[in-house]
């Protein structure tokens, strides 16, 4: 078997059903055996699209997404998705072509130091120099990407070791065993079970808390721990906040759910964390968008911090009880200890705390003013209609900006793995290709991409891919003619000096553009048109659909904790002259 055949055969044996990619000179020998493989290859229009599609596929399915591109500029084009996947702990396998080994370091055509460039944005990367190593390297890549803290792994493959015309590309096929894979990575032993003494300390601390909050991050979803989380919350009636990366990990319509904390979180979630005496942080990393000004964050709270990555413990906020381990396994262990210690009968009465939290929910709901006749649409109204007229288990994939925050705020997530976004890196242009990847992974589910006009213009060309491949994603563009979030900051903090944020409501013509890419397209400008158009879009299932909603550029995302401020200074609404301080 030659190296190219071995690479494809290895991907098949790891369960790969789809590769998102774009061929070129250095990777050509690997593309030839794809013709004889059951793996579906989806030909993208830009390598960045391949990476985000692989991410969307992984988010939606829990299985690693696979992207394959050639050398040089193709490899540099996929760096952004790698960085995105690294920040959000997304399992992803990236195969890049490389110039022949004899040409390495000579500035050969389309040569780039891909391993050097991607070292800081991958969990692991490697230049493979022998065809016979390919099966083991692929097995290692999948093992590393999916165990411990998930993340992207890159294999850089020189052309000569996969070229059937080169004698060095031929070898005797051997598929390594699981034991051989583990033995080949002697320094890699992720800790998955929490230390029993720390787990017991955590259980005792939870039982003694008067104002506990479960602070849930994306790690809970990565660990497939949603059911265990619910059991823990319901055992002692502990309120739950779900970060931007954890939306759906706990049902939004559950009485214990407080929603999203952070810069654009709701008042109750932000304030409950501030007033808590115990934060039970599960797979969350105390991101600066959650803590606000760190010195003023949750000043009275002790912290139990559970994370599979020991580097996260104490990185931002010291933990009274740090626990390294897989979230599901640790939650189950804490549950067992809580029950052993007496469960709800042994816990401190937190009825007063629940009552206080309920009072905040009643006093500070999310709200907006509906548009008057003749005015542009309110984006929140559009999202409410999308939510109410789409199946309950619809997968929502957002871009980055105001529309992302409104989507997180106004959608009701009842199921895990129904919310996909770029949380850590905040990559504009993420939504359309990630939605395509999610739809490929979950073809029976409705997938809506919620995008802004600025984001859409960055990667819209991938709708050509979707139309060609008959991938019927649906795209809602909230067109407010601006880079909306930047405009909001300029309005609030730069005295309305709108520097370089105006795009145009009419250029490009989104309907014509979408139709030219093979999509069905609509434009909606009044509230009466919103629901009927969404219904039409949801009925189309043989090609992509794009709806352009003309929305009000003056609308801002609230609540908001201004950058550099503490969470006590949360601004609850557009009409607030001053920040609403948290009542002590």
Catalytic residues: 47, 109-110, 159, 485
Q: Specify whether the CB–CB gap between 268 and 203 falls below 8 A.
A: no
Nearest to 51 by CA among 75, 15, 72: 75
* Peptide bond between residue 152 and the one before it cis (omega within 30 degrees of 0): no
Q: Specify whether the CB–CB gap between 478 and 555 falls below 8 A.
A: no
- Token representation of residue 393: 């288990």
Using the structure block, give the residue that is written with the tokens 């059991």: 231
In degrees rounded to 5, what are phi and psi of residue 121? -125, 20
CA dihedral 539, 544, 549, 554 (to 10 degrees): 130
Distance between CA atoms of 61 and 332, rounded to whole angstroms?
A: 23
329: Cβ contacts below 8 Å, ≥ 6 apart: 192, 193, 194, 223
List helix spans (H) across 119-195: 134-146, 178-183
The C-alpha angle 96, 99, 101, rounded to 5 degrees, equals: 110
DSSP 201-215: HHHHHHHH-SSEEEE
Burial 223-257 (b: 16+ CB within 10 A, else e): bebbebbbebbebbebbbbbbbbbbbbbbeeeebb
Q: Specify whether the CB–CB gap between 530 and 388 falls below 8 A.
A: no
Distance between CA atoms of 213 and 211, rounded to whole angstroms?
A: 7
Side-by-side strand order, sheet with 18-22: 40-43, 18-22, 65-69, 92-98, 152-158, 124-127
223: Cβ contacts below 8 Å, ≥ 6 apart: 283, 308, 326, 327, 328, 329
Residue 171, by phi and psi: left (phi above 0), alpha (psi -120 to 50) or beta?
beta
Distance between CA atoms of 210 and 333, rounded to whole angstroms?
A: 22
CA dihedral 119, 123, 129, 135 (to 10 degrees): -170
């Amino acid at each position: 078997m030659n190296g190219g055949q071995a690479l494809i055969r290895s991907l098949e044996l790891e369960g790969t059903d789809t590769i998102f990619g774009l061929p070129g000179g250095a990777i050509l020998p690997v593309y030839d055996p794809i013709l004889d493989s059951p793996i579906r290859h989806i030909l993208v229009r830009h390598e960045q699209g391949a990476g985000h599609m692989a991410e969307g596929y992984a988010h939606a399915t829990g299985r690693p997404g696979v992207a394959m591109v050639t050398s040089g500029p193709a490899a540099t084009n996929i760096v952004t998705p790698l960085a995105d996947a690294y920040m959000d702990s997304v399992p992803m396998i990236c195969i890049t072509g490389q110039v022949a080994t004899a040409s390495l370091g000579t500035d050969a055509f389309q040569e780039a130091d891909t391993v050097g460039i991607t070292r800081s944005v991958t969990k692991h990367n490697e230049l493979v120099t022998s065809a016979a190593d390919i099966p083991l390297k692929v097995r290692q890549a999948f093992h590393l990407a999916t165990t411990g803290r998930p993340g992207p792994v890159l294999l850089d493959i020189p052309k000569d070791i996969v070229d059937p015309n080169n004698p060095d590309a031929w070898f005797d096929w051997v598929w390594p065993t699981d034991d051989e894979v583990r033995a080949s990575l002697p320094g890699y032993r992720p800790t998955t079970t929490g230390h029993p003494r720390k787990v017991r300390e955590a259980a005792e601390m939870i039982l003694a808390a008067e104002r506990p909050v479960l602070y849930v991050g994306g790690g809970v979803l990565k660990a497939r721990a949603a059911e265990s989380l619910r059991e823990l919350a319901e055992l002692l009636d502990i309120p739950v906040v779900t970060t931007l990366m954890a939306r759906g990990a706990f049902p939004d319509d559950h009485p214990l759910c407080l929603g999203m904390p952070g810069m654009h979180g709701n008042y109750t979630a932000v304030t409950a964390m501030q007033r808590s005496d115990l934060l039970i942080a599960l797979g969350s990393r105390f991101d600066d968008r959650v803590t606000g000004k760190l010195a003023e964050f949750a000043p009275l709270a002790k912290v139990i911090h559970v994370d599979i990555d020991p580097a996260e413990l104490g990185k931002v906020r010291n933990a009274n009880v740090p626990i390294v381990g897989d979230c599901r396994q640790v939650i189950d262990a804490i549950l067992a200890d809580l029950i052993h210690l007496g469960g709800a009968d042994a816990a401190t009465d937190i009825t007063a705390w629940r009552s206080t939290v309920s009072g905040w929910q009643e006093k500070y709901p999310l709200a907006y003013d509906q548009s008057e006749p003749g005015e542009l649409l309110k984006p929140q109204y559009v999202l409410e209609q999308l939510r109410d007229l789409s199946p309950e288990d619809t997968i929502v994939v957002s871009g980055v900006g105001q529309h992302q925050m409104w989507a997180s705020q106004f959608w009701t997530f009842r199921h895990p793995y129904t919310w996909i976004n770029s949380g850590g890196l905040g990559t504009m242009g993420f939504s359309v290709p990630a939605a395509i990847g999610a739809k490929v992974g979950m073809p029976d589910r409705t997938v809506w991409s919620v995008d802004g006009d600025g984001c859409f213009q960055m990667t819209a060309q991938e709708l050509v891919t979707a139309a060609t491949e008959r991938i019927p994603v649906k795209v809602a563009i909230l067109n407010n003619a601006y880079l909306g979030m930047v405009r909001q900051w300029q309005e609030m903090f730069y005295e309305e000096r709108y520097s370089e944020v105006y795009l145009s409501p009419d250029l490009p013509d989104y309907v014509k553009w979408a139709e030219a890419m093979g999509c069905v397209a609509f434009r909606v400008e009044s509230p009466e048109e919103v629901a009927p158009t969404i219904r039409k879009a949801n009925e189309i299932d043989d090609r992509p659909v794009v709806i352009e909603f003309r929305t009000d550029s003056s609308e801002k995302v609230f609540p908001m904790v201004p950058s550099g401020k503490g969470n006590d200074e949360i601004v609850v609404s557009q009409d607030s002259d001053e920040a609403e301080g948290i009542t002590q």
